[in-house]
Chains A and B, each alone.
Chain A
Amino acid sequence: MNWNGIVAIWRFEMARFFRSIVQSIVSPVLSTSLYFVVFGAAIGSRIEEVEGVSYGAFIVPGLIMLTVLQQSIQNAGFGIYFPKFIGTIFEVLSAPLSAFEIVLGYVGAAATKSLMIGCIILGTSFFFVDITIQHPVWMIGFLVLTAVSFALLGFILGIWARSFEQLNLVPLLVVTPLVFLGGSFYSVTMLPPFWQTVSMFNPVLYLVSGFRWAFFGMADVPIAASLAAIVFFTGACLAVVWWMFRTGYRLKS
């Protein structure tokens, strides 16, 4: 294993994050605070409790998940797309690094950044609501798996994209709607039966549900199903990445 190579990529990507540290931290803290104000205070005042949890606390796992998903995709996508765009990717491709090591560097850095932001949002939420995490180990496990799997998705998008527009297309048109319709701000039991069935086809529902279970011990779907969904998604992303490097898809001529 080329550990020095992996660390070099990781540090290089983290340096990008720290170069824009204010934007990296202030932006998620601000938007989380706004979510709390709008959803927690304005709407939450009309919904007192969801399955025994105050509405303000109920949306915390969804809010964290929303940001972690978006940040993971964005960071990993940009991380690999930008060197492609400016042409510096040749350096990584000509280095003695395997596909696995390259992925570990880029995806590891993207996941680290989104985990840091996830923790900041969790910290911010303590200022607005009282939260007790019932299964902290599971909470960390879900958070890490989600960050890694969606960073893998972002990495795939970064290799696939030929323009910045394409890079933003999938997160904007597919991922964001799935997150909003995945029970981030509500329990699927609040939906009519038909929409409950439709929601079961939304993979994000399983992530949010599992993550919320780690917080409050309540879930829309069984915890095993959540775990299976995230493991399956991670496996699928790994398979696509493996294929991309094996064929040199949009990386090598």
Chain B
Amino acid sequence: MAAIVQVENLTKTYDGGFTALKDVSLDIQEGEILALLGPNGAGKTTLISTICGISNPTSGRVRVGGHDVIEDWRAARSLIGLVPQEIRLEPFEIVGNTVRFSRGLFGKSANPAFIDEVLHDLSLYDKRNARTAELSGGMRRRVLIAKALAHEPRVLFLDEPTAGVDVELRRDMWRLIERLRGEGVTIILTTHYIEEAEMIADRIGVIRSGELLLVEEKADLMRRLGRKELTVELHHPVETLPDRLAEYDLTLSGDGRRLVYGYKAGEERTGITRLLSALQAEGMALIDLQTRESSLEDIFVDLVQEGEGP
């Protein structure tokens, strides 16, 4: 698959001297959904702004659809749609006009049927003649998405698209993202909701302090960095663990009834069979066994905390 967005050694230092992006390189494949995770101030929005032409890079290169965003900016920008983090809309303009305005800005001729379709898809059609200031926060966010889709972009940036929206809208948005992916649109979203990234993204990028820590297939990431836990419930409580079990990474619960064994997800040899044999040899009767896999959130927290130090 060809990379539709290519970021090479991108660095962004603001006038005040703060470096928001440090030598970031990233390839985004056509048709994929990439979720960029990172704490506040990590550089996610700066990265998006630089790709979209709102912010000038200090050094490095960005290409969209093979077009350099500086040298061939017109071709590059015409491929991009952007939904910003904050809800920014002309308050006195009506919904239909502001969406048509966005299409026009990108050089597309009027297409009322397409605009109506976008408004229908986002449940905005009934509000097409309402002023944006009269809409709820969730509806205004829908308007932002409609504006970004109005010129039929091939690459869509969603900067915290579901921040502060209700569950219904979030699910609507996930459905829309899935449908856009089906139409071949490449989607890059930043989010604080790890659950969201886990649910819809193909690949995950983690950014911290302007550095891209990793970009990996979601499944690979979960397999590589994910951990699993086996909880063994004992028939009779124990006060201490027998010496024979010392070699295992075991934690005994306070009431002495549960043993928790941690192991890496996706490994061929987990040590579970040996552990169970050892327990049997020690005459420890079992009532129940449970396993739990660490979530993307656990992985993300571990990654972000790693570099922060004590």
Contact = CB atoms under 8 A, between A and B. Distances in A.
Interface of A: 2-5, 7-9, 11-12, 15-16, 19, 83, 86-88, 90-98, 248, 252-253
27 contacts: A3-B107, A4-B104, A4-B107, A4-B108, A4-B109, A8-B105, A9-B105, A11-B101, A12-B90, A15-B97, A19-B92, A87-B84, A88-B88, A90-B88, A91-B105, A94-B53, A94-B54, A94-B82, A95-B77, A96-B74, A96-B75, A96-B77, A96-B106, A96-B107, A97-B105, A253-B49, A253-B54
B307 to A, nearest CB: 25
Contacts of A96: 73-75, 77-78, 106-107
A5 B106 contact: yes
Contact of B82 (A4, A7, A12, A90): A90
Interface in B73-129: 73-75, 77-78, 80, 82, 84, 86, 88-93, 97, 100-109
Q: Number of contact residues on B: which range applies?
A: 35 or more
Nearest to A6: B104
Contacts of B92: 16, 19
Nearest to B73: A96
Contacts of B53: 93-94
Contacts of B93: 12, 15
B258 interface: no
Contacts of B100: 8
Nearest to A92: B105
A98 to B, nearest CB: 8
Contacts of A83: 90
B56 interface: yes
A8 B147 CA distance: 13
A2 B54 contact: no
Given A90-B84, A252-B54, A253-B14, A2 B91 contact: no
A7 B88 CA distance: 22
A153 to B, nearest CB: 24
Contacts of A4: 104-109
Given A15-B97, A93-B54, 8 more contacts: A3-B107, A4-B107, A9-B105, A12-B93, A86-B89, A91-B82, A94-B77, A96-B73
Contacts of A3: 107
A87 B77 contact: no
Contacts of A19: 92
B90 A88 contact: yes
A253 B56 CA distance: 7
A253 B55 contact: yes
B207 interface: no
Contact of A86 (B73, B91, B102): B91
Contacts of B149: none
B52 interface: yes
Given A4-B108, A8-B104, A94-B77, A252 B55 contact: yes
Contacts of B102: 91
Interface in B11-57: 14-15, 49, 52-56
A79 B75 CA distance: 26
A150 B77 CA distance: 31
A245 to B, nearest CB: 12
Nearest to A102: B105
B106 A95 contact: yes
Nearest to B74: A96
Given A12-B101, A96-B77, A91 B107 contact: no
B72 to A, nearest CB: 10
Contacts of B109: 4
A90 B88 CA distance: 9
Contacts of B54: 90, 93-94, 252-253
A8 B55 contact: no
Contacts of B78: 96
Contacts of A88: 88-90
A244 to B, nearest CB: 14
A229 to B, nearest CB: 35
A15 B82 CA distance: 24
A15 B104 CA distance: 15
Contacts of A248: 56
Nearest to A2: B107
Contacts of A86: 88-91
B86 A87 contact: yes
